[in-house]
Amino acid sequence: MTMTNLLLLGFLPSGSEWIVIALVILLLFGGKKIPELMRGLGKGVKSFKEGVNEAKDEINKAKEEVDKPADK
């Protein structure tokens, strides 16, 4: 492992810390609000992925136009 990977592993929560984080979220938002939050998070991630794919497509189109030989 590289030094960066080792440093990042030191900052990730362990098993018991995840339980505490989950309890704090449950207390702050309540049981009924969590599914709505997760749905919103899922929609956000989906939208982000679509945006990334659109950007890749535009970059590939531009690359193809540059690589295409000029017709004379």
Which of 53, 52, 50, 32 lies closest to 42 in space, CA to CA?
50
DSSP for 21-66 reads HHHHHHHHH-TTHHHHHHHHHHHHHHHHHHHHHHHHHHHHHHHHHH
CA 54, CA 63: separation in Å to the nearest integer? 14
pLDDT of residue 57: 94
Q: How many residues make up the chain in this entry?
A: 72
Residue 51 pLDDT > 80:
yes
CA 21, CA 8: separation in Å to the nearest integer? 19
Mean pLDDT calculated for residue range 33-55: 92
Segment 1-30, tens digit of pLDDT: 455 655 566 677 778 888 888 888 888 888
pTM: 0.53
pLDDT of residue 4: 61
